[in-house]
Structure 1
Amino acid sequence: MTVKVQFLPDKITIEAQPGELILEVAQRAEVFIPTGCLMGYCHACEVELEDGNPVCSCISIIPAGSDFLKIYVYSDPVW
C-alpha cells in the first residue's frame, strides 16, 4: 500500500511507502528541508503533520494506515 504525501505550501505530491523516512521522501520529491545533525537533536528538519504535530523529518517515518498525508514545510531563517 502506498501513501500519497503532499508537501505544503508548494503542493508537491508524491507516493511513498509506509516506513520511509519523511526526509528521504521529500528529497525524492525535490522538496528542500534544511538539515543539521540528521539525528533529531537540532530540529533543523522539523516539519508539521496535518494534525499539527511537529516532527523531525530525519527520524520520522511515513505512517501506515492512511492513504494521504499532508506535511507542512516551513523555513527557519536561522538555518
Structure 2
Amino acid sequence: MKQSKIKIIWPNNITTIVNEGDDWFSAAEVAGIEIPTGCLTGSCGACEIDVNGETVRACISNIQSETDCSLSVAFTTDPFWEN
C-alpha cells in the first residue's frame, strides 16, 4: 500500500514533506525544530503540539492526515513547563 505524502508547516515557517505514519520527532528534526520531551510515554504532556488546532502528544502519535491537506504545527504553551 502506498504511503501518503503530507506537507507540514512548522513554527519556524519551514515546510517539509513527510510520509504518513512517520514519527513527529524525526520529522521535526529535519525541519530544525526540537519538540520538548518529558516522560516519552504520553503521561506528562511535555511534547504536546498543536496540529491544525488539535493538541497531539508527539511521543505517542504518528503523523496522520484524514485529508490531502497540509498540517500546520504550533507549540502549545503550558506555564508548568516554562522557565
TM range (shorter): 0.7 to 0.9
Question: Could you say what secondary structure the match of 2:27 adopts?
Answer: helix
What are the ranges of 5 or more consecutive residues in structure 1 without an aligned counterpart?
Answer: none
Rg comparison, structure with higher value: 2
How much identity, in percent, do the aligned residues show? 34
Q: State the structure with bigger RCO (CA 8 A, min sep 6), 1 or 2.
A: 1
- Alignment-derived partner of residue 25 in structure 1: 27
- Alignment-derived partner of residue 8 in structure 2: 5
Number of aligned residue pairs: 77
What are the ranges of 5 or more consecutive residues in structure 2 without an aligned counterpart?
Answer: none
Q: 1:76 to 1:24 in 2, by over 3 A?
A: farther
- Alignment-derived partner of residue 63 in structure 1: 64
TM alignment of 1:42-53, pairs within 5 A: 42-50=44-52, 52-53=53-54
Q: Which runs of 4+ in 1 moved over 3 A?
A: 74-77
- Of 15-24 and 57-66, more deviation after overlay is shown by 57-66
Please tell me whether the aligned partners of residues 7 and 73 of structure 1 are also in contact (alpha carbons under 8 angstroms). no
Q: CA deviation at 1:74?
A: 4.1
- Alignment-derived partner of residue 14 in structure 1: 16
